[in-house]
Amino acid sequence: MSETTAISLWDNSSAEPDVGSPMNSDDICDVAIIGAGYTGLSTAYHAAQKGLNCHVIEAQHIGYGGSGRNVGLVNAGLWLPPQDVHAMLGKTASVPLMKTLGDMPDYVFSLIEKHQIACEPHRSGTIHAAHAPKGFQDLQRRAEGWRQMGVEVNLLNAAEVADKTGSTAFYGGLLDHRAGTINPMGFARGLARMAKTAGATISTGVTAQSLSRENGLWHVRTARGMVTAKYVVIATNAYSDELWPGLCQSYTTIPFFQLSTKPLGSRISGILKENQGLWDTAPIMFSLRRDNFDRLIIGSMGAVHGNIKGLSQRWASKTLRRIYPALGPVAFESAWHGKIAMTPDHIFRIHRPSENLFAPIGYNGRGIITGTLFGQALADLMIGAREDRLPVPVTDLHPVRNQRLKSVFFNTAFAINQFWKGF
């Protein structure tokens, strides 16, 4: 894929092929899946493995949404500390949920190994770095929450995190050995290959225009034909549109941008030398990782302003100089942003707007494990598993109050942050 059409660095650098193909006729199947990201492709793979006939419909290409624009951190758990999840859901519900999410990196990496997905996997953990003393206090609380659940995570002091990251800019960190990093587009394409091998159909470049139900069957209409199915999964998350009324009003969209340097070779030998991914505790967080070609990939909340030259590039350059003053000037080769679907309580949802219609939503920055998990769980449900076996209860759609105002506020705050820290 050429540099002009690629949606991210990962779109260019993924070694996995894109196995999507055009849709040229009507189809009748068991499961129609709208969206070829982690959720849709995981659903197709797991359902096809169980004998269901699946058809994935994607308006662009595989991984076009958040899956191909991801940071690529395979993190365990939720955005929230375990204690907060317990307080909101009660331990009867929260403990099994957190255990499942804690085990999901294992499952993701087992799929990568079993199916030999070419996605640059590194299972060396991720580091949540303290940007200030208050941030380290938050990490201490998170570590205690996990330890109370029997999960051993490493709380690092400033010297220890400096050894891991190559930077003295942090006040400590939390190393989670369950986690790791991948090329996120490579994983999405790998899931697509797995699903197709299992018997699923993946049609790209075709938009679902309308949904209707008649005589117990769903009809997904497109410009290239109609897919008729017993079940429909709307697997579009932050990239949902008005296909189903109210779905895209049920979360708040947060943009997240990234810039990748040109390969830096031995210049970054001491930076994240064990290939951990990193994100910090600041209210407007930033992320940092490296790839197999010795690029640094740095990002933060907000949209790209100015591509590889402009406001975002100035922010990235200054942030790298602050964290790694000895690194010197770097050149950037790509910039992109994606969208994160945030819910008011930072906990994801599985909506069922109508019979046999499911819409997982609101991954809150945990798309890799959550999308993979939801695909597996929905496939089980469609072959007869009890609904109470789902990761979270099925809920009705509810609009987020003042959603547009919140989006404007966040986008403005993120742009100001780039401007302020870029000068």
For the segment 339-366, what is each residue's pLDDT rounded down to a tens digit? 999 999 999 999 999 999 999 999 999 9
Q: Are 237 and 343 in contact (CB under 8 A)?
A: no
pLDDT at 309: 86
> How buried is 294 (Cβ within 10 angstroms: 0-12 exposed, 13-18 middle, 19+ buried)?
middle
Q: What is the rounded CA–CA span in Å between residue 413 and residue 400?
A: 19
Q: How confident is the model at residue 4 (pLDDT cuts 50, 70, 90)?
A: very low
Neighbour tally for 244: CB within 10 Å: 22
Q: How confident is the model at residue 422 (pLDDT cuts 50, 70, 90)?
A: confident
pLDDT at 3: 39
Per the rule left: phi > 0, alpha: psi between -120 and 50, beta: everything else, 280 is beta
Per the rule left: phi > 0, alpha: psi between -120 and 50, beta: everything else, 365 is left
pLDDT at 42: 98
Instruction: Compute the average pLDDT of residues 247-270.
Output: 97
**Cβ contacts of 329 within 8 Å, gap of 6 or more:** 317
Distances (CA, A) of 207 to 98, 102, 224, 317: 35, 35, 9, 39
pLDDT at 81: 94
Q: What average pLDDT does the structure give for the chain?
A: 96
Q: What topology is assigned to 9-70+185-250+344-403 in CATH? A: FAD/NAD(P)-binding domain (3.50.50)
Q: Name which of 380, 351, 168 is nearest 247 in CA terms.
A: 351
One fold for 9-70+185-250+344-403 and 121-181+253-343+410-421: no
> How buried is 113 (Cβ within 10 angstroms: 0-12 exposed, 13-18 middle, 19+ buried)?
exposed
Instruction: Compute the average pLDDT of residues 116-137.
Output: 98
Digit-coded pLDDT (tens) for 192-227? 999 999 999 999 999 999 999 999 999 999 999 999
Digit-coded pLDDT (tens) for 367-414? 999 999 999 999 999 999 999 999 999 999 999 999 989 999 999 999
Vertex 406, ends 405 and 410: CA angle to 5°? 120
Distances (CA, A) of 105 to 115, 124, 182, 285, 396: 15, 11, 11, 22, 29
Q: How does DSSP classify residue 58?
A: E
Would you state the structure tokens that stand for residue 351, as one six-digit string?
Answer: 């909506």
pLDDT at 421: 86
pLDDT at residue 114 above 50? yes
Q: How confident is the model at residue 257 (pLDDT cuts 50, 70, 90)?
A: very high
pLDDT at residue 92 above 50? yes
Which pairs from 313-319 meet CB under 8 Å and 24+ separation? 313/259, 314/418, 314/422, 314/423, 315/417, 315/418, 315/421, 315/422, 316/259, 317/422, 318/421, 318/422, 318/423, 319/286, 319/421
Given the candidates 3.30.70.980, 3.30.9.10, 1.10.150.80, 2.40.340.10, the CATH classification of the domain at 121-181+253-343+410-421 is 3.30.9.10
Query: Domain limits of the chain?
Result: 9-70+185-250+344-403, 121-181+253-343+410-421
Digit-coded pLDDT (tens) for 136-168? 999 999 999 999 999 999 999 999 999 999 999
pLDDT at 356: 97
Q: What percent of the chain has pLDDT over 70?
A: 99
Three-state secondary-structure class, residue 203: strand
Residue where the block lists tokens 């624009």:
69
pLDDT at residue 248 above 80? yes
